[in-house]
Amino acid sequence: MDDKNILKQNNLEVTDFDSKNIFFDFIHLLNTYKNYVNPNSIVVEIGASNKHRTQLFSRYCKQLVGIEYFLERLRTDFDNAIYKQGDWQNLAGILDDDNFDILVSSHCIEHVFDDLAAVNETYRILKPGGVAIFNTPNRKRLVRRIIELFTGERKFPWREHVREYTKKDLVKLLERSKFKNYKIEPICLGIKGLRWLCIKKCPKYFEDLCIYWEIILYK
């Protein structure tokens, strides 16, 4: 399915996205989410500062709780969605144990200081059989590798990113967590922002060069 049909299927407007880059990573995340969600699902979104995206997630579930760290980015409750200020690393007193069917998050884990604590909090709040779906940049994506041939490896923290991940980094993190079952999928290959130099499905052989990782955790 091409981008225009994906946008139409999800009632998205081209103006909601950069005209040169339709955020393949978010569309992939949304479609993965749709594979797991059902009308009775209770969902939590971490990093819920984009109300339009939260509305997309909320269409498919019974109730959605949006967690946002920054008070100034906190949105107003709507329909079946409520917002709470909170920190992914420590949601005790905000979200109960074994309470959610799905956790979804887009580009947040790289901003978290204690990523292991965030992953283990995810385990705590998910119901048995629950699923977490999130994405993050690949630290060694193709463009980054080329740039670093001339500049040397990027040092972290960098801007708002505490770190970025290779697949090995993610495996190391998840193997230390409470989750025993997980999947890491490469998303997009090429140059972000240039459609004609970016393919959405990254061949397995080139996965180490992908732009993003999508992670699915199973409790």
The SS3 of residue 208 is helix
Strands 189-190 and 198-199: antiparallel
Bigger pLDDT: 195 vs 53? 53
CB atoms within 10 A of CB 196: 7
Strand partners, 184: 215
| Residue 73 banded pLDDT, cuts 50, 70, 90 | confident
| Residue 123 banded pLDDT, cuts 50, 70, 90 | very high
Note the pLDDT of residue 60: 97
Q: Is the peptide bond between 157 and the residue preceding it cis, with omega within 30 degrees of 0?
A: yes
Q: What is the CATH number of the domain that holds 74?
A: 3.40.50.150
Strands 126-137 and 212-218: antiparallel
* Cβ burial, residue 58 (10 Å; 0-12/13-18/19+): buried
At 152, give phi and psi (nearest 5°).
Answer: 85, 170
Note the pLDDT of residue 13: 43
Structurally, the chain folds into a number of domains equal to: 1
| Residue 17 banded pLDDT, cuts 50, 70, 90 | very low
Stated as kind and residue range, the H or E segment containing 215 is strand 212-218
* Cβ burial, residue 107 (10 Å; 0-12/13-18/19+): middle
Percent of the chain residues topping a pLDDT of 70: 88
Written as six digits, the tokens of 183 are 């999947």
Torsion from C-alpha of 119, 121, 124, 126, nearest 10 degrees: -70
Quick check: 101 and 42 in contact, CB under 8 A? yes
Distance in angstroms (rounded) separating the CA atoms of residues 28 and 177: 25
Written as six digits, the tokens of 213 are 């990782």
Average pLDDT of the chain is 89
Per the structure, the complete domain to which residue 32 belongs is given by 3-218
Written as six digits, the tokens of 43 are 């969902």
R_g of the chain, CA atoms, integer Å: 17
Residue-level length of the chain: 219
